[in-house]
Amino acid sequence: DAGITQSPRHKVTETGTPVTLRCHQTENHRYMYWYRQDPGHGLRLIHYSYGVKDTDKGEVSDGYSVSRSKTEDFLLTLESATSSQTSVYFCAISDRGYYGYTFGSGTRLTVV
Amino acid sequence: GENVEQHPSTLSVQEGDSAVIKCTYSDSASNYFPWYKQELGKRPQLIIDIRSNVGEKKDQRIAVTLNKTAKHFSLHITETQPEDSAVYFCAASRETSYDKVIFGPGTSLSVIP
């Protein structure tokens, strides 16, 4: 489905625990992004990657880390989950870096 | 940093009427402006985009206009239909590979049958 999958689709976790979300693509696109979506804030960029092992911070990167060891996988880790990180997380891919993002189906994360 | 504002946050129109969503951006170097539509419970999808070298672009019932001097751009939907109900996001970016797309906060459009 659209060459991009996110896992898990839903997760409930406790405050203080680490959490890893996975984004997997089959399009061989160079650029991958993690966004979070919250009411009233739209889509805010957390981290992005412009190649294997090449990553950079977005506008809301505090409390998050990422890794990209293969072209197809981009992992987002919440090092110690907090209630403020309850959100819907979207991964996106692009072959040009700014044009024509394809989004994954999203992961709904609840931190209790 | 770069900021994109979007108005209104919610919009209700009667089926068949037109809908207009307006955005402003802060980075004068931005030159690529996409619009994404997100239906309830689904992923955002690109519906139309415009580059700074044109002032208007149309695709069937959807049109986008750009005023670079004022740093404004707008989405116009004519003859609205119930399936147009969704959240619409405007965004802005420089047209370079390493630049990020910055999204507005979204407009929730409801088309009343």
pLDDT at residue number B1: 62
> Which helix (H) or strand (E) covers residue A54, if one does?
strand A54-57
Name the one residue in this structure whose structure tokens are 């692009």: A94
Task: Give the model confidence (pLDDT) of B50-93 as tens digits.
Answer: 988 888 999 999 999 999 999 999 999 999 999 999 999 999 99
pLDDT at B96: 74
From CA B38, how far away is CA B24, in angstroms rounded?
A: 20
Check: CB of residue B46 under 8 Å from CB of residue B29.
no
Looking at the complex, report in whole angstroms how far the Cα of residue B113 sits from the nearest Cα belonging to chain A.
26
**Cα-to-chain-centroid distance, residue B6:** 8
Can you tell me the mean pLDDT for B8-25?
A: 97
Q: Please say whether the beta carbons of B89 and B35 come within 8 A.
A: yes
Rounded average pLDDT over B104-110:
96
pLDDT for position A40: 82
A73 and A92 Cβ atoms separated by less than 8 Å = no
Name the residue facing A42 among B1, B34, B105 (closest C-beta): B105
Q: What percent of chain B has pLDDT over 70?
A: 96
* Pairwise CB contact (< 8 Å): A104 & B106: no
- What is the reported pLDDT for B53? 83
Provide the 8-state DSSP code for B39.
Answer: -
Token digits for A33? 């992004």
Residue B98: list chain A partners with CB under 8 A.
Answer: 50, 97
* The two three-digit tokens of residue A71, written as one number: 């072209």
Chain A hits for B93, CB-CB cut-off 8 Å, are 98
> Considering CB atoms only, which of B9, B44, B98 is closest to A50?
B98
Q: What is the pLDDT of residue B95?
A: 77
Band of residue B2 on the pLDDT scale cut at 50, 70, 90: confident
pLDDT at A100: 80
pLDDT range class, residue B98, cuts 50, 70, 90:
low
Residue B95's SS3 state is coil
Of B44, B45, B49, the CB nearest to A43: B44
Higher per-residue pLDDT: B95 or A80: A80
pLDDT at B103: 92
Mean pLDDT by 10 residues, chain A (112 residues): 90 97 96 93 92 92 96 97 97 86 96 96
Q: Which residues of B26-43 are buried (b: 16+ CB within 10 A; e: fewer)?
A: ebeebbbbbbbbbeeeeb
